[in-house]
């Protein structure tokens, strides 16, 4: 099928290239080198993640922290000397994270975690929800709340669809993301709230994405 640099499809989900090519390009990001490069070349949304993390994360020294969907370990440095564990479903990402930051990374499906109950003081899940179907999000939240101690929190940071109808560029960028489960802020909050108690919410309007923060505890 010819490659075409034009909008294809109409309405809610236009694409800038043909769907088959878009899929090929998205798959390329499963390669850790391509993913690392994309985060370096277009860091704007990663900066927003970091700003929200600095504002809202509070883990006491030495506490066990779980990073769900840790990718290539980009956020490892936030946790300094803490007892950190990162999990991701992509073995190539975990191999790269381990090479870069050392042990503490494991290949694991976030919906079926291999940890004892209350193993961690808290958990974070950054930029990963829009890669998970509604059912997977429910299972991930259930699992995260099982493996963190009572009183601990799961901190979720994820892009959401812009509410401003004039923000067409941002909408287009997010709708062409390789994650296939784009949600609005209220939609994401409702879904997460089905399994956990939403304790705190925040929204940051970035240049490329609007990014939501949710702090989630046990009911
Ligand atoms: C956009 S990346 C975010 C990576 C990292 N948190 C960051 O901000 O750089 C989404 C990550 O979710 C991971 N992922 C997708 N489905 C998963 C699942 N079921 N269990 C664990 N990780 C998953 C992907 O492999 C990918 O690394």
Q: Is the pLDDT of residue 16 over 90?
A: no
**Rounded distance from Cα 126 to ligand 1 centre (Å):** 8
Residues near ligand 1 (Cβ within 6 A): 49, 69-71, 74-75, 87-90, 93, 109-111, 126-128, 131-132, 136
Strand partners, 204: 211
Atom 12 of ligand 1: nearest residue by CA position: 69
**Rounded distance from Cα 2 to ligand 1 centre (Å):** 31
114 shares its domain with 180: yes
Total domain count for the chain?
A: 2
Q: Which atom of ligand 1 is nearest to the CA of 128?
A: 10
CATH of the domain at 88: 3.40.50.150
Distance CA(29)–CA(96), nearest Å, equals 14
**Residues 107-157: pLDDT tens digits?**
999 999 999 999 999 999 999 999 999 999 999 999 999 999 999 999 999
Q: Which position has the token pair 């930029």?
A: 127
5 shares its domain with 55: no
72 shares its domain with 141: yes
10 shares its domain with 50: no
Structural domain boundaries, residue 128? 43-217
Provide the pLDDT for residue 63.
78
> Is residue 181 one of the residues assigned to a domain?
yes
12 shares its domain with 91: no
Distance CA(197)–CA(134), nearest Å, equals 17
> Is residue 38 one of the residues assigned to a domain?
no
Asked if residues 73 and 90 have their Cβ atoms less than 8 Å apart, the reply is no
**Rounded distance from Cα 130 to ligand 1 centre (Å):** 9
Mean pLDDT across the stretch 170-187? Answer: 94
5 shares its domain with 72: no
> Is residue 179 one of the residues assigned to a domain?
yes
Provide the pLDDT for residue 131.
97
Please, which pLDDT band fits residue 186 given cuts at 50, 70 and 90? very high
> Is residue 106 one of the residues assigned to a domain?
yes
Asked if residues 88 and 70 have their Cβ atoms less than 8 Å apart, the reply is yes
153 CB contacts (<8 Å, ≥6 apart)? 122, 123, 199, 215, 216, 217
**Rounded distance from Cα 8 to ligand 1 centre (Å):** 27
Backbone angles phi and psi of 193, in degrees to 5 = -70, -10
Provide the pLDDT for residue 19.
59
Provide the pLDDT for residue 113.
98
13 shares its domain with 108: no
Higher pLDDT, 36 or 182: 182
Higher pLDDT, 119 or 40: 119
Asked if residues 190 and 199 have their Cβ atoms less than 8 Å apart, the reply is no
**Residues 58-101: pLDDT tens digits?**
877 777 999 999 999 999 988 888 899 999 999 999 999 999 99
24 shares its domain with 124: no
> Is residue 37 one of the residues assigned to a domain?
no
124 shares its domain with 20: no
């Amino acid at each position: 099928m010819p490659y075409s640099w034009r909008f294809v499809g109409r309405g809610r989900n236009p694409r800038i290239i043909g769907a088959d090519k878009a899929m090929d390009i998205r798959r390329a990001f499963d390669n850790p080198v391509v993913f690392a490069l994309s985060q370096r070349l277009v860091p704007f949304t990663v900066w927003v993640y970091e700003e929200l993390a600095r504002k809202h994360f509070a883990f006491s020294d030495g506490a066990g922290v779980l990073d769900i969907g840790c990718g290539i370990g980009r956020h490892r440095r936030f946790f300094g000397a803490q007892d950190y564990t990162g999990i991701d479903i992509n073995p190539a990402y975990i191999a790269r994270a381990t090479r870069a930051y050392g042990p503490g990374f494991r290949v694991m499906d976030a919906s079926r975690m291999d940890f004892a109950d209350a193993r961690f003081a808290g958990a974070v899940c950054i930029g990963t929800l829009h890669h998970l179907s509604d059912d997977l999000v429910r299972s991930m939240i259930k699992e995260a709340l099982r493996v963190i101690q009572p009183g601990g929190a799961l901190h979720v940071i994820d892009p959401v669809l812009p509410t401003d109808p004039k923000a067409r560029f941002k909408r287009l960028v997010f709708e062409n993301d390789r994650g296939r489960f784009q949600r609005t802020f209220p939609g994401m909050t409702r879904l997460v709230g089905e399994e956990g108690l939403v304790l705190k919410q925040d929204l940051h309007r970035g240049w490329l994405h609007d990014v939501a923060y949710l702090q989630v505890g046990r009911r």
